[in-house]
A and B are shown apart, each in its own frame.
Chain A
Amino acid sequence: MIIDINFIGLIIASIMASAVPLILASCGELITERSGVLNLGVEGMMIIGAISGFALMTVTGSLIIAIFGAMLAGVLISTIFAFLTQTLITNHVATGLALTIFGIGISAMIGKNFVGIPGKEFPVLYEGLKDTIPLLGPILFGHSIVFYFAFALPFITSYFLKKTKIGLIVRAVGDSPESASNQGINVRLVRYACILYGGAMSGLAGAYLSMIYTPQWIENMTGGRGWIALALVVFSTWNPIKILIGAMIFGGLTIIQFHMQAIGVRIPVQFLTALPYIVTIIVLVVISRDSRKIRLSTPSSLGKSFHKDN
């Protein structure tokens, strides 16, 4: 059997495509968590982004409005979370869960009128270059702008956290809000910003799903990706570059599933579908077993409320 080298390139490209929403949402959540806030509402923000993007695209016809609108929707919904956890000092876990439940409900409510409407084609870049280089051609070229952005994001995030002053402030707030506050940093403001940024990235991740990856609106179409994105942040030990690796593993699991079914491997389809969830658990166990390492890399104030008296 001769395997076409371009076919392998296509498979890798499809794995990367399915990794995109995970990378976007994880990188957003990573910034949020680095500032000390645990937002479990990723799934909710993502699904809101998915329906907002699709609805805006259908109604306005503009892809740009749709993409930015989805990010704005993510920001708006995460504002609820930010207001509750930062201003009203509520429990992060419970508030995040409420956000997810609320998001799924609202999205289905808005999405009722958009079920069954076909999506639009999203423009891809450098389509013509696809066949110029064997193997690498399909991997590098012919993708949407969001795709390229997603693969740049971990590096941008890493640079931001390590090399910029604002990145340093975010880390300081996450590791020791008390001392950051004593240094005159407005902890609440920084956390608000990080939460809203996480919302924007989750919104974008959702829009990618409903506008580019599978251009249509299906209820609950995020299907747990928001939760996997949360797991990826733990997997990465809060290091953005490792998110890339994790997202590729999960993208790979999703894609392999399709190919195994296509070749007719006799494993029940439900088992293959369950694989990403099972692997998430296994990966979490392997990563977390070393409790010292986890403790060293976790933002110290993660999930703890900070309230400045007086």
Chain B
Amino acid sequence: MIKIVKRDQPSRAIFFFTPVLAIFLTLVAGGLIFFILGFKPFEALKFFFIVPIADKYGFSELLLKATPLCLIAIGLSFCFKSNNWNIGAEGQLTFGAIVSGGVALLFYEQEGFYILPIVILAGAIGGMLYASIPAILKTYFNTNEILVSLMLVYVSKLILDYLVVGPWSNPEGFNFPETRQFSDSAKLPLLFEGLRIHAGIFLALAAVVISWFVFYKTYLGFQMKVSGFSLKTAKYAGYKGKKMIILVFLISGACAGLAGVGEITGPIGQLHREISPDYGFTAIIVAFLGRLNPVGIIFASLVVAITYLGAETAQIFMQIPKYTGQVFQGMILFFLLASDYLLFFKFKFIGSKK
């Protein structure tokens, strides 16, 4: 007989094992879905997860997609650790891109070393400004941050749409919904000749290091952790809750804004309608899959980035619909949450003694 028993303490080993289990289960379920859709499961999985990163170019693309995911997820982990549900990173990314793109357009005819730092800073500020809306509304008006941050995603995309179609559209662009190309000084340098991976990856790595330091070595990190466990305890301990809420939202907004900068000053080089394939939403999954741990998030962002690439490759080679990527992303989160059960409960085999 099998009995389910509650663990005395959540298991530490299982804490880092369940993400691996979740990925495995996703692959199994994914194979099953491919089978149902009439594809050969192993071949489909190969095209989805191995073929896209088999060469140098593919690997560069993987890092290119993992960079914004990692950056945003790091920011989100500040929020999630402290029980703040910022799910509008996509909006903060978009608004950051708008502000930094606007600044880059101001300099479109100029060259100079000072331009790029200003453009990057503008993006971070844009993201922070946009994240401050749900933060302030939550702290001072008691408004649900989940709904506000999400509504703002739609608003930011419409602002972007308005700008690239209207006032910011390229005067020589034959009415295409896009701005001028930024000057080279406003673009993030490419790291290797012929590959698209750019210096934005260093922003992500810096975020990893800084967040690790904040989480585990500072008083703020400790406060966040306590607030995440129990808001009552945090209040009892006398933490200034409001300040912390606003701070974590600002950090998270800055990271999302920087991811936006990376997209427009990296591979794209201008503003247009679709600057992000929902990185802001997918990063929520990355944050959880990485266990809100900076190092974990690096691995998680690589894994989830494959679903983007895989969806493209599978579509080209096997005519598998590209939305399969999203299905995989949803499944990873489902399985991860489900396997968390093992953290708190264990199965006990009880032999029937005669």
Contacts and interface: CB of A to CB of B under 8 A. Distances in A.
A117 interface: no
A102 B148 contact: no
A285 B330 contact: no
Nearest to B282: A101
Instruction: Give the interface SS of chain B, mostly helix, strand, loop or mixed.
Output: helix
Interface in A84-118: 84, 88-91, 93-95, 97-99, 101-106, 108-109, 112
Contacts of B327: 102, 105-106, 109
Contact of A281 (B151, B326, B338, B341): B151
Interface in B314-342: 321, 323-331, 333-334, 337-338, 340-341
Interface stretch (B50-58, B106-114, B157-165, B198-206): B157-165
A203 B162 CA distance: 33
B151 A109 contact: no
Contacts of A88: 337-338, 340-341
Interface range for B: 35 or more
Interface in A259-310: 268, 270-271, 273-274, 277-278, 280-281, 284-285, 288-289, 291, 294, 309
B158 A108 contact: no
B137 A281 contact: yes
Contacts, number: 129
A231 interface: yes
Contacts of B344: 89
Interface in A240-273: 268, 270-271, 273
Given A90-B338, A291-B142, A294-B142, A281 B158 contact: no
Contact of B151 (A97, A101, A106, A231): A231
Interface range for A: 35 or more
A94 B344 CA distance: 18
Nearest to B332: A98
Contacts of B340: 88, 90
B329 A101 contact: yes
Contact of B323 (A84, A108, A268, A285): A108
B10 interface: no
A94 B143 contact: no
A38 to B, nearest CB: 9
B146 A40 contact: yes
Contacts of A133: none
Interface of A: 40, 80, 84, 88-91, 93-95, 97-99, 101-106, 108-109, 112, 224, 227, 230-231, 234, 268, 270-271, 273-274, 277-278, 280-281, 284-285, 288-289, 291, 294, 309
A270 B164 CA distance: 11
Given A112-B321, A277-B155, A285-B143, A268 B334 contact: no
Given A102-B326, A280-B147, 17 more contacts: A88-B337, A88-B340, A90-B341, A91-B337, A93-B85, A93-B146, A94-B288, A98-B337, A102-B330, A105-B327, A106-B327, A112-B323, A270-B158, A270-B165, A274-B159, A281-B143, A284-B137
B144 interface: yes
Contact of B154 (A89, A112, A277, A284): A277
Contact of A277 (B151, B285, B328): B151
Contacts of B285: 98, 101
B39 interface: no
B216 to A, nearest CB: 23
Interface in B188-242: none
